[in-house]
Amino acid sequence: MSVLMKAKEAAERVYEEIAAKAENWKRKGVLPRIATILVEGDPASAYYAQAKRKIAGKLGVEFDLHSFRAGVSQEEILGLIKRLNGDTSVHGIMLELPLPKHLSAGEIEKAISPEKDVDGVTPSNKLATVTGERGLYPATPQACIKLLKHYGYTLEGKNVTLVGRGQTVGLPLFHLLQRENATVTVCHSRTPDLASHLALAEIAFVAVGRPGTVTPDMVHEGLAIVDAGINETEGGRIVGDVSADVAAEAKVQAISPVPGGVGTLTTAILYENLLKAIEIQFGEADKG
Ligand code: NAP
């Protein structure tokens, strides 16, 4: 039977640490606060924002939801970000994606202060992800690695196949895996024979955004797969990028479920980043 790498326990551990740190900061008079920017129109984003609000409540973190109508202008959002950047009571800023077509997520993300950028989307945090310098790294790639390690896997010297080189997950994950000293093969839409690269892998990360990208005929029993994909089927079900048959037929050593895998841990890492952001804003010596 394949081990199902569920994220609940790993996420709870992260939350315990965050709650303790948040409590320490409060004793020093700092009330951790995150601001989330949501543009109406995407029901999934609205759902995720509310889910994050609920978690903030449990962690003792203040959560401000800034909700805009679908027709909001880019300038209005940039104006809010400018205000939030200058507001010392706000320690983290997050933009819910996707945005309506008339808005540029890239331009809006660039406006966020790097010290408050809990999603690791600003140019300087992207660079820090590459170089390993201090900064706020993107949450989902961190969650992929943390989930795997929670189940006792190590990365140093391992053959890793990474499927997907997108800006949000694959590309930053590649850099984090380099620093874990894994030997990484990156596959993408022009890779002619994905199966040949999975055959050589001990560990695979899949972040494509297409259900059924990895099928049972492509995998082997010595493989552990972390599936970062989130896809909605026509019936409204959430599925990953790896076909459900892979786990059902026990074709691999271990696999992370969707939902209940990478996504679950990603939310926890966002709050871990918020506490890191506070450390950065108040100086390394004054840890919570
Ligand atoms: P993206 O920017 O669209 O990148 C997709 C990548 O997949 C690209 O590199 C693309 O190749 C590659 N690709 C497309 N078809 C392929 C195929 N048939 N075989 C191999 N590679 C293929 O996506 P993203 O924003 O990084 O997101 C990836 C997935 O992660 C999505 O399902 C997204 O919903 C999910 N996600 C999950 C979380 C979470 O919290 N769990 C957070 C963010 C995103 P090219 O580069 O050649 O185009």
Could you tell me which CATH class the domain 28-113 is placed in?
A: alpha beta
State the CATH architecture for 139-263.
3-Layer(aba) Sandwich (3.40)
pTM of the model: 0.96
Residue minimizing CA distance to atom 13 of ligand 1: 189
Q: Is the pLDDT of residue 32 over 90?
A: yes
Best of 119, 147, 169 to mutate for ligand 1, by most ligand atoms within 8 A of CB?
169
Closest alpha carbon to 266 in 168, 128, 157, 153: 168
Q: Is the pLDDT of residue 229 over 80?
A: yes
Spatial distance between the Cα atoms of 231 and 59, rounded to a whole number of angstroms: 28
Domain map (residue ranges) of the chain? 28-113, 139-263
Q: How far does Cα 77 stand from its chain's mean position?
A: 23
pLDDT in tens, 96-142: 999 999 999 999 999 999 999 999 999 999 999 999 999 999 999 99
Give the distance (Å) from ligand 1 centre to CA of residue 168: 8
E strands, the chain, are 3-4, 33-39, 62-68, 92-95, 159-163, 183-187, 203-206, 224-227, 231-232, 238-239, 254-255
Q: Is 179 annotated as a binding residue?
A: no
Spatial distance between the Cα atoms of 63 and 49, rounded to a whole number of angstroms: 10
Give the distance (Å) from ligand 1 centre to CA of residue 201: 19
Same fold, 28-113 and 139-263: yes
Q: Is 230 annotated as a binding residue?
A: yes
Phi, psi of 225 (to 5 degrees): -120, 130
| One-letter amino acid of 176 | L
